[in-house]
Structure 1
Amino acid sequence: MILRVVLLSVLLSVGFSFACSHWANSDGRSAVALNLLNLTLFVFYTTKTREKALACLLAASGIFGLVELLADFLCVRCTHTLDYALAHSAMLLESPWWMPLSWALVAVQVGVLGDYGIYRFGLLKGALLTGILGALLIPFYEEMAWGAHWWRYKNCLMLGHTPVYIIVAEAVIGAGLALMGHFALRAASLKDATLIGAAAGLVTIFGGMLGWGLVEFLGRGARPVWPSSPGPSSR
């Protein structure tokens, strides 16, 4: 049943973000609306069923979203490739205040799908397949985010409006979220779930550093600047 709810959430996210990408007045407020729709869906299901497993996954995903703020900070201040100005939202560090929730909800989606993949194909193969899913699904959100005025990338090698380094990063992140989903759904307590979420958040940072390092640092000669205000990062 959790899988069905998540599939519904994915369809909702895809359809809503696609619509926002074609709406000229879209900004961070439409991202908030999508977050609230998905959050209501997950909270309603968890409250109705009282499933401890999903409650643990929600807790892990919440911590994951908070740790992801550090990954955003690196993209904005160190590589100068990520720009949230067009969202016109209040900021939390270098991210819109709603970004941790956005990532938490994506983590629930990918975590449940990844757990299903692990159940069907085993731990390693399931995680790898979810990594491929992450490299496909999350960059779709990146494309929609550009049109919806949620965020944009610059100063890096692009495929459409999605950085190539982000595609590499999301493959790593997708695999990490599969493992997070698998272990968080079986966590003995909410405390254990939060530790799992924190570990998955660190995978986000590693994935971003790996993707940027391979594509931008080694491939294009870009150099990080630390600390710095936003500006060009590549030569």
Structure 2
Amino acid sequence: MDGTRGIEPGADLAGAVRQGVSDEAARMRFIVAAMALVAGSNTVGALTHAGPRFALYSTLFTFAVMVGWTAWRRDPVLARWLLLGFVAGWLEIATDAWLVAQTRTLVYPTGEPMVWDSPLYMPFAWTLVLAQLGVVGGWLAQRMSLAKATLACALLGGSMIPLYEHLADHAGYWYYVDTPMVWNAPLYIILSEFLLSLPLVWMHGVALARPWRFSALLGLVAGLWMIPSVMLAWWLVGPCRAGWTFFGCT
């Protein structure tokens, strides 16, 4: 009997495990770098008061970097998240329209390319944010319970995205009025980002268990979930003197 043939299955399994670990490590390094790129470009925009054109170009550049890396690595995990985020990002403009027209708290500059009431770059920006949060949430789910990973991911979303909101005001991308805020981020936006991030860890597991095209359906769910998340958050802490929980405007 050939002894080499007897150990091939185990060797193949060990090699697959090592490859999976290597792929995950490379993906996480890239995601951290991509998050730093987004934070860095927003910081530069805020420091230089760059305006909406810079937001458009920097967002499309980072989007191209993420798509290019995913194609180069043939990364099925990030590919699923980019598809999910892209679908959700285009649905998010309905939420934006509600904020602009109904709450009248969100204001975008005039004279930039728009889709409905949102800047053209907004769906791409949401693609980046959701893909980054989703990959981090999946990484957390492998290291802690589903409940803890879900809470950690939601807390990350509820802090990371409002940071971008704060920087956006200084950069001239958009701003908020007539609503209680922490720095330049409204309380209701902070709460809504926490709420909309809650399903992401669950979605990560579902997406990986199904063909990649199924991620488009999950993106539809994620995009639709944004609307009640924002409405609930607005009802709780959005109005200056009419919310379920009272917070005054300064």
Question: Which TM-score bucket, shorter chain as reference?
Answer: 0.7 to 0.9
Cα distance in structure 1, aligned partners of 2:76 and 2:27: 12
Task: List runs of 5+ in structure 2 lacking aligned partners.
Answer: 1-25, 244-248
Q: What is the CA distance between 1:161 and its match in structure 2?
A: 0.8
Are the aligned partners of 2:56 and 2:120 in contact in 1 as well (CA < 8 Å)? no
Distance apart, 1:132 and its partner CA: 0.8
Q: Which runs of 4+ in 1 moved over 6 A?
A: none
**2:198 pairs with 1:175:** yes
3-state secondary structure, aligned to 2:79? helix
Report what 2:106 is aligned to.
82
Q: 1:39 aligns with which of 60, 63, 67?
A: 63
Any stretches of 5+ residues in structure 1 without a counterpart?
223-233
Is the 8 Å Cα contact of residues 114 and 182 (structure 1) preserved in structure 2? no
- Quote how far apart the aligned CAs of 1:97 are: 1.2
Preserved CA contact (<8 Å) 2:60 2:124:
no
Residue 46 of structure 2 contacts residue 167 of structure 2 at CA under 8 Å; is this kept in 1? yes
Deviation at 1:67, TM superposition (A): 1.1
Residues 147/125 of structure 1: CA separation in 2 closer, same or farther (3 Å cut)? same
- Name the CA shift for 1:220/1:176 in 2 (closer, same or farther; >3 Å): farther
| Larger RCO (CA within 8 A; separation ≥ 6) | 1
What CA distance in whole angstroms lies between the structure 1 residues aligned with 2:241 and 2:201? 31
Paired-residue identity, %: 31
Say whether residues 1:161 and 2:184 are aligned partners: yes
TM-score using structure 2 length: 0.82
Q: Distance in 1 between matches of 2:128 and 2:166?
A: 18
- When residues 44 and 169 of structure 1 are mapped into structure 2, their CA distance, relative to the original with a 3 A threshold, is same
Letter aligned with residue 106 of structure 2? L
**1:36: Cα distance to partner?**
2.3
Answer yes or no: is 1:15 the counterpart of 2:40: yes
Please say which structure displays the higher CA radius of gyration: 2
CA deviation after TM superposition for structure 1 residue 121, in Å:
1.3
How many correspondences in the alignment? 219
